[in-house]
Structure 1
Amino acid sequence: MTERATSFGAETESYEKGRPEYPAEAVRWLLEPALGGDGAARVVDIGAGTGKLTRALLGLGGTTVAAVDPDAQMLATLQARTPEVEAIVGTAESLPLADAAADAATLGQAWHWVDPVAASAEIGRALRPGGVLGLIWNVRDERVDWVHRLSGIMHGSPAEQMIADDAVAVFAPFGPLEERRWEWARAMTRAELHAMAASRSYVITAPDDEKRRIARGMDELFDELGLGEGGTLEMPYVTAAYRAVRGS
C-alpha cells in the first residue's frame, strides 16, 4: 500500500490531464463551518498532489491555502501552476505546522491513504477549535454500463471501495461526519481517458505487460463505443464530500 500511495509523482502530467476538477459547490460546502463572515479561511490542503483541489479552494476567494504532500515531485508540479501557494513536504500524520495554524484542512482523493486515527489527531492539533476537516472524492459512476466495464479493465481503487462500503471515518478531536453528493459529467477524449488510467496507483505500479493489457482493453472498449480520435465520451462522476468539525 505504501508503494502505491507514494507512486503518483511518476505520472504528474497524466494526473493533471486525466483527473477531473472538483465542483465549486462541493468545495465551498466542505469549508462552510469554518468560513468567517467575509468568506475568509486559512486552509491546509493535505495530499495536495498537483493542486487540483488547491486551485479549487483558491477559486472560492478569500481563502489562503498551504499545500502539503509527501511527494516533492507532485508539489513541484503544483508550484509551477500555482506559484502563490506555499508548498510543504509532509503527511497527514506529521504536519509541519504550528498548533491551531489553520481554520480548515482538506484532503482530495487522499483520506484512503492515511491512518485515520493518527491523521485525525494530527490534523486536529493543527486546526483551531471549531475548525473543519473536509474530505472529497470524485468517483466514476459505475451504475452506467460502459463505466462499469471500464473499471473492470482498470481495476478498482481503495477509495472506491471505501466509499462503496460506507467506511469513511474520522476520529477525535472531530465530531460526526456530514456527507453530501453531487452528480455531474465530464466530456473526455480517448487520450484523456488513457491519462486517467495512467494516473491511478494500480496502473503506475503494475508490470509493463499489465499496463499493456489495460491499454489494449480500454482501446477495444472505446472502439466498440465508437470513440474515435477527436471525439469525446461523457464520463459520469459522483463527487462524495464529507466534513467534520473539531471540538473545543
Structure 2
Amino acid sequence: MDHAPPQLRSSFGSAAVAYAQHRPDYAPAAVRWALDPAPGPRVLDLGAGTGKLTATLVALGADVVAVEPDPAMLAELRRTLPAVRALPGSAEAVPLPDASVDAVLAGNAMHWFDMAAAGPEIARVLAPDGVLAGLWNLLDDAVEWVAGLARVAGPAAVGPRDTPAPWRAATARLHLPPTGPARFGSPEQALFPHGQRRTAGSLAATLATRAGMLVLPGPERDATLGRVRTYLAGRPETADGEFTLPMLTGVLRVRPL
C-alpha cells in the first residue's frame, strides 16, 4: 500500500472532466496479457476513475463492471460509458457478491488501495483461478527528451511510479496484504509499448491532472507547468503541433493462493 496523504487520494474528483479529457488509455496488448490467465470474461475494474481502463476492456470484449469511490469521477464514467454497469464502492468495500468475477483489474489505482482491507475483498469477489492485475501508464524515459521532461516537471508531476525502473521497485509487492488471511502468489511484471498523441499544451494539461499537481498551491503548480511548457517549446520533438508521447503500460499480475 502507498501511504500517501489523504488529500492525494481524494484529489481527482476536482479534475474529473480534465482527467477524462487528457489521461491516456491503456495499451490493448497490456490488458490482454493481464487477462490472459483469467478463467472467464467477467472483469471488475476497481478504482475505475473516469473509465480509461474500462473503455479498453469493453473494446476487448470483456463483461465489465466498474467500481469507483469518487462521485465526480463515477459521474464522468457513467456519462462517457453509459452502457457499462458502474457502481459506487471501493477496493476496501467491493459491492459485488462472492466469486462473481474472473479478474480484478486496476488502472493507475492499486497504489491507493489499503491492501489490509482490499486484499480479502478482492480475494472474496474473485472466482477460483481468478487473476488480479494492476496497470500503470509510464513515461518512457529511455527516450532522451522524455527523461528531460521528467526532470523538469519534478516529482509532483512525475512520481515514483511514472517511469519504468522506479515503477518496478514501487509496485512489486503492492498486491500483498500486510495482515489477514488473503494471500497472493508471486507477481509477474511486464511492460508494453504505448503512446499518446499530444501537443505541448495538452501534455502540460495531462501532467496537471496528477495527484501531486492537484494538491500543489496555485503558484507552485503554475510555476511547474510554466517550466514544462518552456521545456516543450524548446525541444524540436514537441515545439510544433502534435507528437506522440512515448509511453509504456506496466502490468503487475498475480493470482490468489
Same fold (TM > 0.5):
yes
Match runs of 1:218-233 below 5 Å: 218-226=228-236, 227-228=238-239, 231-233=241-243
Measured after TM superposition, the shift of residue 160 of structure 1 is 3.2
Aligned residue number for residue 177 of structure 1: 187
Which of 7, 10, 18 aligns to 1:6? It is 10
The equivalent position to 2:161 in structure 1, one of 159, 162, 181, is 159
> TM-score under structure 1 normalisation?
0.90
Task: Give runs of aligned pairs for residues 209-248 of structure 1, distance below 5 A.
Answer: 209-226=219-236, 227-228=238-239, 231-247=241-257
2:138–2:162 Cα contact (<8 Å) kept: yes
**The one of 5, 25, 28 aligned to 1:24:** 28
Q: 1:199 aligns with which of 186, 203, 209?
A: 209
After superposition, the C-alpha distances for 1:56-93 in whole angstroms (9 at most, x for unaligned) are 111111x2211111101001000101111121121111
Gaps of 5+ in 2: 177-181
SS at the partner of 1:160? coil
CA distance in 1: counterparts of 2:145 and 2:107, whole angstroms: 25
Distance 1:102 1:31 in 2: 12
Which letter maps to 1:79? R
Q: Give the secondary structure class of the aligned counterpart of 2:42.
A: strand
Aligned residue for 1:112? 111
Contact kept, 8 Å, 2:35 with 2:103, in 1: the verdict is yes
Q: Which residue of 2 aligns with 1:122?
A: 121
Letter of the 2:38 counterpart? A
Distance 2:146 2:17 in 1: 23
User: How much is the aligned-residue C-alpha RMSD, in angstroms?
Assistant: 1.8
| 5+ long unaligned stretches in structure 1 | none
1:128 to partner: Cα distance:
1.3
Counterpart residue type for residue 56 of structure 1: T
Whether the aligned pair in 2 keeps the contact of 1:15 and 1:195 (CA below 8 Å) is no
Structure 2 residue aligned with 1:138: 137
- Greater CA drift, 156-165 or 233-242: 156-165
Confirm or deny that 1:72 pairs with 2:57.
no
- Percent of pairs with identical residues: 37
For 2:82 and 2:194, locate their aligned partners in 1 and report how far apart those are by CA, in whole Å: 30
Separation in 2, partners of 1:158, 1:10: 23
Cα displacement (A) at 1:187: 2.7
Runs (4+) off by over 3 Å: 226-229
Counterpart CA distance in 2 for 1:218 and 1:233 is: 15
Return the alpha-carbon distance in structure 1 between the equivalents of residues 186 and 168 of structure 2: 19
